[in-house]
Structure 1
Amino acid sequence: MKTGGSTMRNKGIILLMAGMVSCGVQKNVTSEEGKEKGKQIGEKERMQLKFSFAEATHRKIFGDLDRAIILYQECLKIDPENTASLYELSNIYNYLGEKELAVQYAEKAFENERDNKWYGMHLAGLYHQEGKIEKAVDVYREMTDRNPKEMDIKYNLATLYVSNGEYRDALTIFEEMEKSMGINEMVNMAKYNIYEKEGKHHLAVNELKKLISVFPEEVKYRGLLAELYDEMGEDEKAVMAYQDLFKIDPEHGLAQMSVSSYYRRKGEYKKSLEWFEMAVRNPEIELDDKIQAMLVYVNQQDVLEEYNQELEDIIEKLAGEYPEEINAMALAADYYIKTKNAEKARLYLEEMTEINPESFGVWEQWIFMENETGNFIEMVRVAEEAIKIFPEVPNLYLYISIGLFQIEEYDRMVEYAETGTKYSNNNDNIRKELYALIGEGYHALGEDEKSDRAFEEALKINPEDIMVLNNYAYYLSERGNELEKALEMSWKCLEIEPENYTYLDTYAWILYKMGKTEEAVKYIRKSFEAGGQNDPEILEHYGDILYEMGETDEAINVWKRSVENGNTKEEIKNKIDAGEGRNK
């Protein structure tokens, strides 16, 4: 309620300003306006008009806009040409968003008093809001003709020309204003901006030099001049402009940032970072500006690698100067994640979650880091802490399940994944991933029926998920179950990725299980050609197929290659022994 009251009070203030303008012109409205239009208003009507107008303005100030509208309209019943009431009604309707009525009343007010610049500027402003630039320009042109010495009217007309892309007309007016007023920040900066848009850098330089000659202590013009010279490729002039700037204010934060940016653009990162370090220590510069500038360095891998120590020093200074600021910690955490320093990143991430445990993004960043570094036990621990705060967020159940799968805690993994499916009804992708993990978990636990059901649920959500299709098909083939179905799923994978050596191997293995060794050997060789020639499992499969085809010597050689490439299963050793025994 307090907020609402404050808002209403602000409404009153906004409308009061308009009322002050209208009250200033009201004296001539009720008496002289009537004479001008040939109307005769009696004394009683004049008093009623005065009372109604005052009461309407009072109501407007205190936010009773409906009653104010009624009272202003009563004024118009007494005197339909009452310009002040027309103007006030236009202001109220504009505030209420009823633009068409606002324009109608403003047009009538300006029609009645074309010499009143406030009415004209109000009407032009409404036209501008509605995108009727030409109409706004026409109003300002008329007002300029009627009020040739009014600089604010000229300035508004020129800015309208700029917004409409009519730069020549705008410059003509700005030149006239400069002749009349002398060098002026608004006018000369407007000219500078036009020349910049047009790519006329030398003319833009002239405007900045004019401003510097009149305001020699104002560093922002020198900063703009230095940046402009840099943009023009005039490096020496840019450096001189910065030097002049620091003679005036050696601790100027914005200038320090500008110089740092200048050297960075030139590729002189050592100098750039030296200046940036000064800027980091400068209390004039907002933290967010420092962070945004720092991100430019952090996001360039080559700079990150070559200037690692310098960047780390600055990061630590920044975090040290803002010990309670989450954004400074987030920058440090991001930096250490990028530089593969998980230990330091973890310190900042932990501190951030302690300060603001409700920030899900920080928890997620921490979980991702642990996953990327292969620290799955820590990944599970962090996600389990997060799930205490966000018990219904399905992502967390997925992250925990992935971590538990990696450390082969399948019982816990299945439990978390199944719970996660209850919270993932609105996210098909996460729901599908959870069912796929349930399928993997039950497969590892030897509960094939439950595994199959989970894979089926995953495929209901996305029948084209090739990882689920491939794994499910392979597990069926290993058991010798539903081989036709397995072959169909495996073929789907090859239709999507025909050169994937894992999928080619699965398809070959299913054919082998079906007794189609001739076809199987063709696809296992394609798997080799696609890059699987050193995969120990694919080599074992190839040996099995060759052995079934009676090519014992070649099978033994391939099995031995499987062992050389990391196959440590006891089964493969038995196969080699059996093959060598067959040859004897």
Structure 2
Amino acid sequence: MNIKRIIVAVLLCALCGVKLGAQTYEELIQQSYDYADRGDLPAAEQALKAALHREPANRNNFALLSNLGTIQRRLGRRDEALTSYTAALGLQPDNKLILSNRAELFIERGETERALADYETLLRVDPADVEARFRRGVLYVELKEYMLADADFEQILARDRDSKLGRLGFALLDKARGNYADSEAVLTFLIGRDPDDLRLYEERAELYFLMKKNARAMADLRRVFAGEREPSAYLYILRGKIRLAQYEKEAAATDFKKALDLGADRAEVEGLIKMTY
């Protein structure tokens, strides 16, 4: 057993302080799937931990750790999810799915630079990974590194001039630069071409809010909430802001409180709640 595997095995012992039944490693994994299919995520988590504890040096544990991290993330336990994803990458440092999941977790935690580092690794492993390049470009937009974002989105379109992600990237860039009419035109075109993509409605709703077209923004958000099984904290914040602009203070406060329950930044949301008094 090499030193990396020993270190990860020790970490697994720390992660997996659970009582073990008589099930085998494979049975515990199957049990975790069964629990997850039934929506019992805490039980699925415990079954995965038991499997990891049963065989802490199993070469397939990277997949279990990745699944464990995703479950913990869905349960709102981001610190534990980060530990699990990082342990999984200790076993498979270039695994694209795990790198992508950890990058998304870093974004949720507000750790943009660490997310960028994971996307850099993804693009080193696979320079043709369009999704990773798009997501890195979006982070550059948020950091106001518009030239770098432009380069990423242009590279996507250089590979495929009709790429939805490339076009969406430039719509987001236009929105950030205040070119609202151009951004609206691209988003509306993309929605016409792919009317079931909820991300497009979410982005256009935010754009309409910035344009003070609140009725249109709310119409797009109704479409998003109708289709999303688990709306994000950001969606509740956005809808709350629109309701606040429409003087629906009680409804706005309800949205902001729901965002808090989903792990939104407390300082930001409490400031918004004060505006509903």
Which category describes the TM-score, using the shorter chain as reference length? 0.5 to 0.7
User: Is the contact made by 1:511 and 1:520 (CA closer than 8 Å) also made in structure 2?
Assistant: yes
Quote the residue 1:451 is aligned against. 149
SS for the counterpart of 2:259 is helix
Aligned with 1:576: secondary structure?
A: helix
| Unmatched tracts of structure 2, length 5 or more | 1-20, 32-47, 70-83
Residue 383 (structure 1) aligned with residue 84 (structure 2): no
1:225-266 Cα shifts (integer Å, max 9, x gaps): xxxxxxxxxxxxxxxxxxxxxxxxxxxxxxxxxxxxxxxxxx
In the alignment, the residues of structure 2 paired with residue 574 and residue 542 of structure 1 have an alpha-carbon distance, to the nearest angstrom, of: 15
Asked if the contact 1:410/1:444 (under 8 Å) is kept, the reply is no
- The residue aligned with 2:211 is 514
Q: Deviations along 1:476-505, whole A, 9 cap, x unmatched? A: 53x353333433443355345534544322
Partner of 1:208: none
Alignment of 1:407-486 (within 5 A): 407=106, 408=111, 409-421=114-126, 424=127, 430-443=128-141, 447-462=145-160, 473-474=171-172, 477=175, 479-486=176-183
Amino acid corresponding to residue 92 of structure 2 in structure 1: A
Q: Would the aligned equivalents of 2:52 and 2:61 in 1 still touch at CA under 8 Å?
A: no
- What TM-score do the two structures reach when normalised by structure 1? 0.32
Work out the CA distance in 2 between the residues paired with 1:531 and 1:414.
26
Change (3 A) 1:565 1:416: closer
SS across alignment from 2:265? coil
Whether the 8 Å CA contact 1:432–1:462 is kept in 2: the answer is no
Q: 2:239 aligns with which of 522, 542, 553?
A: 542
Matched, 1:491 2:188: yes
CA distance in structure 2 between the partners assigned to 1:456 and 1:484 by the alignment = 20
Tell me: CA distance 1:414–1:533, structure 2 relative to 1, closer, same or farther (3 Å).
closer
- Kindly tell me: are residues 555 and 348 of structure 1, through their superposed partners in 2, closer, same or farther at Cα, counting changes over 3 Å? closer
Q: What is the SS of the residue equivalent to 2:58?
A: helix
* Equivalences, count: 218
Q: Distance in 2 between matches of 1:555 and 1:500?
A: 26
Cα gap change, 1:379 to 1:533, in 2 (>3 Å): closer
Shift, 1:457, TM fit = 2.2
**Aligned match of 2:66:** 371
State the distance in 2 between where 1:367 and 1:489 align: 40
Q: Which amino acid is the alignment partner of residue 268 of structure 2?
A: E
Name the residue aligned to 2:271: 574
Q: 2:200 — aligned with what?
A: 503
Root-mean-square deviation (Å): 3.8
Amino acid at match of 2:65: E
Query: What residue in structure 1 maps to residue 256 of structure 2?
Result: 559
Q: Give the whole-Å Cα distance in 2 for the aligned partners of 1:366 and 1:472.
A: 39
* Equivalent residue number for residue 16 of structure 2: none
Cα 1:566–1:492 change in 2 (3 A) is farther
- Tell me, in whole angstroms, the C-alpha distance in 1 between the residues paired with 2:252 and 2:98: 42
For the 8 Å contact 2:99–2:118, the answer to whether it is kept is yes
SS in 1 for 2:178: coil
SS at the partner of 1:539? helix
Residues 278-320 of structure 1: per-residue CA shift (max 9 Å, x gap):
xxxxxxxxxxxxxxxxxxxxxxxxxxxxxx957x3xxxxxxxx
Q: What's the offset of the Cα at 1:542?
A: 1.8
Whole-angstrom CA distance in 1 between matches of 2:215 and 2:240 = 14
Q: Secondary structure at the residue paired with 1:542?
A: helix
Q: What is the rounded CA distance, in whole Å, between the counterparts of 1:337 and 1:471 in structure 2?
A: 39
Q: Distance in 2 between matches of 1:335 and 1:454?
A: 44
Report the CA distance shift for 1:402/1:557 in structure 2 as closer, same or farther (over 3 A).
Answer: closer
Q: Secondary structure at the match of 2:264?
A: coil
Q: CA deviation at 1:343?
A: 4.0
| Residues 170-197 of structure 1: CA deviation (Å, up to 9, x unaligned) | xxxxxxxxxxxxxxxxxxxxxxxxxxxx
Deviation at 1:377, TM superposition (A): 0.5
Give runs of aligned pairs for residues 528-539 of structure 1, distance below 5 A: 528-531=225-228, 535-539=232-236
The answer as to whether partners of 1:380 and 1:403 remain within 8 angstroms in 2 is: no
- Give the C-alpha shift of residue 467 in structure 1: 6.2
Letter in 2 for 1:455: F
Asked if 2 retains the 8 angstrom alpha-carbon contact of 1:536 and 1:561, the reply is yes
Q: Quickly say closer, same or farther: Cα 1:412–1:529, change in 2 above 3 A.
A: closer
Contact 1:439 1:451 in 2 (8 A): yes
Q: Alpha-carbon deviation of 1:529? A: 3.1
Which one has a larger percent helix, Structure 1 or Structure 2?
1
Please give the secondary structure, in 2, of the residue aligned with 1:498: coil
Structure 1: runs of 5 or more not aligned: 1-307, 313-331, 350-364, 385-395, 425-429
Q: Which amino acid aligns with 2:274?
A: D
Distance 1:401 1:567, change over 3 A: closer
1:378 aligned partner, one-letter code: A
Once the two structures are superposed, the pairs formed by residues 32-47 of structure 1 within 5 Å of their partners are none
Q: C-alpha separation between the residues in 2 aligned to 1:397 and 1:533?
A: 27
Paired residues of 1:470 and 1:506 also in contact (CA < 8 A): no
Partners of 2:30 and 2:161 in 1: CA distance: 36
Residues 543 and 432 (structure 1), Cα distance of their counterparts in 2 relative to 1, 3 Å cut: same
Q: Distance in 2 between matches of 1:345 and 1:491?
A: 52
Alpha-carbon shift at residue 459 of structure 1 (Å): 4.2
Q: Which residue of 1 aligns with 2:11?
A: none
Q: Residues 410, 568 of structure 1: CA spacing in aligned structure 2 closer, same or farther, 3 A cutoff? A: closer
Which structure has the bigger radius of gyration?
1
